Structure 1
Amino acid sequence: MTMKTLVLLLSTVSTALIGGLFYAYSCSVLPGLTRLSDLSFLQAMQAINRAILNPLFFISFMGTLILLPICTWFFYEKNPSLTFYLLLAATLLYAGGVFLVTMVGNVPLNDLLDGASLEKMSASELSALRNKFEPAWGMFHRIRTIISCICIAIVAYTALISRTP
């Protein structure tokens, strides 16, 4: 296996891992959390947002941000092929639609929630915090989930066509 093939394989796996995480979250975690009371919802989101800050998450989330551009560079030629342009598209989509959306959208909301002393808040304050957090966080999450799935399709397709003689 060449280095080029290995990096493409790792890029495909890392893109699928992070996209799968977001997809599974959309299909299971968020629908379950929406059924909770304001306090329970906010406590659960605080716990999840704290728990996800771990090495396994960072390896896939940041690894994809690093691997995709490296992979794209490996496929650059004097006259770039479709493979190069597909990888470039996946790189730009991931950087903007997944990484940037997370950093500019989800993380500030996570920080807002993390700073809240939920046990000290009244029912109306909890409701107001949830109404400020949940719709915006969900919108940003849907964006990054959709973009992640598009990136998976692009990178997987690229892996398939790069093997064709």
Structure 2
Amino acid sequence: MTTINLFLLSAALASGLIAGLFYTYSCSVNPGLGALSDANYLAAMQSINRAILNPVFFLSFMGTLLLLPLSTYQHFGMGTRFYLLLAATLVYVIGTFGVTIAGNVPLNDALDKMNLTGASANELAAHRLKFEAPWNRLHTIRTYASVVSFVLVLLACLTTPDNS
């Protein structure tokens, strides 16, 4: 297997892992959390947001951010495969990474600073109202983006490079 194919395969794996994570979260975690009381919802989100900051997550999340542009560069001038990888890179960088960093992370940081044990029921309800809908909307965007990016990488893997 050539180095160029190894990077393409690695980009496909990393982007698939992230798409799967966000998709699974949308299908199971968000609906489950949505059924919780305000205090339990906010506590669970604080816990999840802290737990996800780990090397395994960062390897796939940041790995995709590095591997997609690298693989795209390696396929420059190879026709359709290059353009599919370029589109996958742009969709991931803007729609997945960008939305996460500019949207979800600031919401997570604000939630992390909240002292849940000292908050009244009204404060908990107000904070959940400010957090849940915007966070879920942004999560939906990054989920669609990560799935689209992954599909584009898969299509690139299935195309024959045009070296013209």
Q: Given the two structures, how large is their TM-score scaled by the length of structure 1?
A: 0.96
Stretches of structure 1 lacking an aligned partner (at least 5 in a row): none
Q: Which of 129, 132, 144 is equivalent to 1:131?
A: 129
> 1:36: which partner in 2?
36
Q: Which of 152, 155, 162 is equivalent to 1:154?
A: 152
Distance in 2 between the 1:32 and 1:18 partners?
A: 20
Kindly provide the CA deviation profile for residues 80-125 of structure 1, in whole angstroms up to 9, marking residues without a partner as x.
5011011001001100000010000000000000000001000000
Tell me how many residue pairs correspond in the alignment.
Answer: 162
> 1:96: which partner in 2?
94
CA-CA distance at 1:161 after TM superposition: 1.1
Distance in 1 between the 2:81 and 2:155 partners?
A: 9
Distance in 1 between the 2:73 and 2:161 partners?
A: 17
> What is the root-mean-square deviation in Å for CA atoms of aligned residues?
1.1
Q: Given the two structures, how large is their TM-score scaled by the length of structure 2?
A: 0.97
- Show structure 1 runs of 4+ deviating over 3 A: none
Distance in 1 between the 2:146 and 2:69 partners?
A: 15
CA-CA distance at 1:38 after TM superposition: 0.0
| Partner SS state of residue 118, structure 1 | coil
Stretches of structure 2 lacking an aligned partner (at least 5 in a row): none
Q: Which of 96, 116, 119 is equivalent to 2:117?
A: 119
Distance in 1 between the 2:159 and 2:90 partners?
A: 20
Distance in 1 between the 2:148 and 2:6 partners?
A: 21
